Amino acid sequence: MLRKLGKGLYVRQPLLSLVNINKYFGDVHVLRDVSFTIEQGEFLTLLGPSGCGKTTLLRCIAGLEHVHSGDILLNGSSIKGIAPNKRNVNTVFQNYALFPHLNVYDNIAYGPRVKKLMKEAELKDRVSKVLDLVQMLGYEKRMPHQLSGGQRQRIAIARALINEPSILLLDEPLGALDLKLRKHMQTELAQLQRKTGTTFVYVTHDQEEALNMSDRIVVMDQGQVQQLGSPREIYNNPSNLFVTTFIGDRNMIRVKVLDVGEASTRVQFGEDVVEVRNSKRHHMVAGEEALLAIHMDKMRVSCGEVPNALRGEVLSVHYAGSQIRIQIQVADKVITAVEYQKTDCDCEAGDSVYVVWEEHGAILLPLEDSGVEGEV
């Protein structure tokens, strides 16, 4: 949205701005100076471990929790003092919260009827439209107990969408579904969001769900934003040790920095010297120690000699469906490589191998910023 500054002068204004939000439960500081903006039409996910404050932040946006300090702006105006039902923001919870005594039609029509927003004929059209969006046309007369979990979740979403909210807040909406249905609903929800153009703020602790569905992800830990970025940015360029260890499975190897070039840094581990791409965020210093973090699924194991590799000995090879997990002793460290196709070499325990990785699969972090004590 554009905001007029003066004659002919406009600035782009975010749909929602969170400005230095702080929130306490008793003595516990659960949201610490949380600030970021959400753009119109975005699919933004709050991702973090259990208890990091995702739901609390969502509830603050919805107006269901009081904010101790900071501000929440919708289209540039503060909504802090505005009641939840007046915020033009709707929430879909994990437990659906459908009225058990009302059929699908009446569940969806409930909100507009209470607000006396439209006549029954118009309401009928709107209910049909949202039922079509969630692919549930024809289910109007069913009672909630006659629906599957996935169908109940679709009705809960339809019930929120009928209000045409500026923002739809979704709190782990797929958490109660089994894995297969959850994956299916992830695709459907992402498509629905693109089709309606509604801004989604989605809460999950499941990184795969966040990486699959979102335009941008806010990674949170202990009430603080750790990183905000696109899935690719978060996956390839983690901002700190927390994000590095939280997103994806990585081998963490303590290395010595030999020299720092413009595009890459040479590091030593055991007797091997390898080059690692430089990251925008972290600056290495020659002579110091650093952490080399490599995504397990970006590694390749080769039987023949290859440049820029760590040499090791295979400890075990484990086949799990399409995945092959290879454990390798490299100097004094055991690392794991995950491959999805047949490996370059059919290695077995005891074989000598060379381990390499895709350029963006590895990152160097300064040891002193990482909070790591002892061995990694």
Interacting residues toward ligand ATP by CB under 6 A: 25, 30, 48, 50-56, 205
Smallest separation, CB 35 to ligand ATP (Å): 17
Q: Which is nearer to ligand ATP, 54 or 300 (CB)?
A: 54
Nearer to ligand ATP, 155 or 218 (CB): 218
Nearer to ligand ATP, 65 or 339 (CB): 65
Amino acid (1-letter code) at residue 1: M
CB of 174 to ligand ATP, least distance (A): 13
**Which residue, 206 or 344, is less far from ligand ATP as judged by CB?**
206
- Closest distance between ligand ATP and the C-beta of residue 217, in Å? 14
Least distance CB 25 / ligand ATP (angstroms): 3
Half-sphere exposure of 263 (CA within 13 A, CB side): 2
C-alpha dihedral sign at 216, 207, 46, 222: negative
Which has the closest alpha carbon to 72: 163, 162, 169, 159?
169
Kindly state the smallest distance separating residue 226's Cβ from ligand ATP, in Å: 13
- Which lies closer to ligand ATP via its Cβ, residue 75 or residue 245? 245
Q: Which among 96, 94, 76, 106 is positioned nearest to 16, based on CA atoms? A: 76
Token pair belonging to 83: 């009641």
Residue 269 phi/psi, 5-degree rounding, is -135, 120
**Which residues are 19's β-sheet partners?**
71
Of residues 48 and 112, the one with the C-beta less far from ligand ATP? 48
Rg of the chain, C-alpha, whole Å? 25
Residue 128 burial (CB < 10 Å; 0-12/13-18/19+)? middle
Question: What CA–CA distance (Å, rounded) separates 275 from 267?
Answer: 6
Q: How far is the CB of 176 from ligand ATP (least distance, A)?
A: 13
